[in-house]
Amino acid sequence: MTLNEFLKEKLKDKFDNIDYLISEAEKNKISLEELFYRNGLLDDDFLKLKSEFFNLPIKKFDYSEQIPQEILNLISKDFAKQRKIIVFDKKDSEIYIGAVNPETNPLNETIDYLKSIYNQEIKAYIISIRDYFLIFRQYNKFSDVLKETLFNLRKTKPLVTEEEIVKLEEEVLTDEEAPVVKLVQSLIEEAVYLQASDIHIEPLVRKLRIRFRILGDLRTIAYLPKDFHRQIINRIKVLSKLKLDETRIPQEGRIRTFIHGREIDLRIGILPTIQGEKIAIRILDPLVGLKKVSDLGLLVYSYEKLGKAIKYPYGLILITGPTGSGKTTTLYAILQELNNENINIVSLEDPVEYLLESINQSQVRSEINYTFASGLRTILRQDPNVILVGEVRDLETAELCIHASLTGHLVLSTLHTNTALGAINRLLDLGIERFLLPETIRMIMSQRLAKRLCDSCKKEETPSDDLKNIISDNIKYIDKEIIESLKIDINNPKIYHPSGCEKCNFRGYIGRVGIFEIILITDELKKAIYDKKTNEEMEKILIEEKFINLKQDGIIKSLMGLVTIEEVLKIT
């Protein structure tokens, strides 16, 4: 029995489409595990199945675990890449190795080879492909690559003085290309490894600053000599097929590449500044950006509301919040929940951020007048069940969304408002007739993103009297059954703060979690909208319907140890 045959038998109940997944892996000439990894399906159960099949013990690695360089270098980088194995320890007369797939890369041959070189016993373990890429990266640490690249660049291009600045307009020279290629590649790989959402390459007066946005905050990663600016810009322009000789106007491009074994999309934006061209690179990593509904951070009271709303056969579902609050991530999570063979899902996006299997995704192109409005008219002729419209920006798009929801389609979209209730006024301001809203809107969700505390090192504290008052003032409006079900002690509240450990790379945080408020349009709210009730009057109705607003949801999560209360108060 082959590994794929074994996995098919074991996973057929968990994955109805296991035959399709195996065929996709074979078609792309990769292992089933690598396919799972690229699509965010890999979990510890898969590793246990491999361990059972190969009869090998499991070795798992923490995200920040470092292997000493002298241990790692017991096998060469090329050998580790070819065989997908790593050496992770050496004790007395034993060497410990981890293998991803002993079937395709015969483990016995590797063990015999290493024995012949080192004359020591080889202890083999099974590891996941995620951990393999995690450790393999340590062959080339970013700081070492940066030093080496700068040294090589400086050999081919001496330091430029102030008087020679004009010469920076020259294109990259042939003998300079190799170190620049390596520098840009390492820069992007480091950003993906650190789970950064953006890379900023910014020319300052006398130097070039590299910053990553990690967990919503910008962090300076490195400063480079200013005269390397043009080579780096040109390399990124070449990769994204932008004009090398155009430096006066903004440009936008895209790069699709494989990093750490998975497909990553990079959106490139170039902005001319008085110091030179600034580059912003948005990293679209499906492993980080694609979530399931269950992974968004919805607590039971929100999860139930969302589950109810997406079961409606038609109507309008709106996700609101500022830029960077995770609206697109939530939309994609809902689409994955709805996606099955019996439903035709069509999306209209600007831009398409992640490719979703079995969903018809279309890219808005304003330069040829293919807008949300014109695209939506076309989509309605594609016999859709579910329509995703990236954003409601104008009256025409809003009217078409309303029309589509009235004619038997479930429409998902986003709107820039600060609160869920604010979406109603926003649609009215755009020009939508009031009487249409109660019959079309099914749900409005507003959200924010907060840094998630590391469970391994967060510190429990008693809140100050001022914070206790804030907690009390917000909690008193929440239904007592909800508080009791979450096992929160209101009489003796505890809050949590970051500390820092190896698991979270000493940041105190791991990832981010959503803060939500969800409104289901009930009969009472329909009547309130018809009767032109104010927001204050509708808020009283919502309290009676056990509504939990953004601040209350955030405070609950701070008392549960998911986020800090200070950040909740800052973002809500």
Domains of the chain: 3-136 (3.30.300.160), 140-286 (3.30.450.90), 290-452+512-549 (3.40.50.300)
DSSP designation for 227: G
- Is the pLDDT at 169 greater than 90, yes or no? no
Share the mean pLDDT of the chain: 87
State the pairing for strand pair 85-91/217-225.
Answer: unpaired
Two structure tokens written together for 358:
């079995």
HSE of 287, CA atoms in CB hemisphere, 13 A:
20
Q: With bands split at pLDDT 50, 70 and 90, how would you rate the model's confidence at 295? A: confident
- Is the pLDDT at 508 greater than 50, yes or no? yes
- Is the pLDDT at 174 greater than 70, yes or no? no
Q: With bands split at pLDDT 50, 70 and 90, how would you rate the model's confidence at 259? A: confident
Contact 153, 176 (CB under 8 A): yes
Distance (Å, whole) CA 276 – CA 401? 42
The least confident of 30-44, 180-194, 525-539 is 30-44
Three-state secondary structure readout of 417-447: CCCCCHHHHHHHHHCCCHHHHHHHEEEEEEE
- Is the pLDDT at 147 greater than 80, yes or no? no
Contact 453, 509 (CB under 8 A): yes
What's the whole-number mean pLDDT along residues 472-490? 87
Interacting residues of 12 by C-beta distance below 8 A, sequence separation 6+:
18
- The count of residues in the chain is 572
State the distance between the two ends of the chain, measured CA to CA, in whole angstroms.
56
How confident is the model at residue 242, as a pLDDT?
Answer: 92
Interacting residues of 97 by C-beta distance below 8 A, sequence separation 6+:
75, 85, 86, 87, 88, 110, 111, 114, 122, 123, 124, 125
Q: With bands split at pLDDT 50, 70 and 90, how would you rate the model's confidence at 40? A: low
The least confident of 288-292, 340-344, 400-404 is 288-292
- Is the pLDDT at 172 greater than 50, yes or no? no
The least confident of 61-65, 389-393, 468-472 is 61-65
What's the whole-number mean pLDDT along residues 109-127? 91
Residues 311-357: pLDDT tens digits? 999 999 999 999 889 898 999 999 989 998 889 999 999 888 887 87
CA angle 22/23/24 to nearest 5° reads 90
What is the residue whose two structure tokens read 């024995």?
A: 115
- Reduced to 3 states (helix: H, G, I; strand: E, B; else coil), residue 514 is strand
CB atoms within 10 A of CB 324: 13
How confident is the model at residue 6, as a pLDDT?
Answer: 92
To the nearest 10°, report the CA torsion of 244, 245, 246, 252: -10
Distance (Å, whole) CA 58 – CA 156? 47
What's the whole-number mean pLDDT along residues 529-535? 92
Contact 444, 419 (CB under 8 A): no
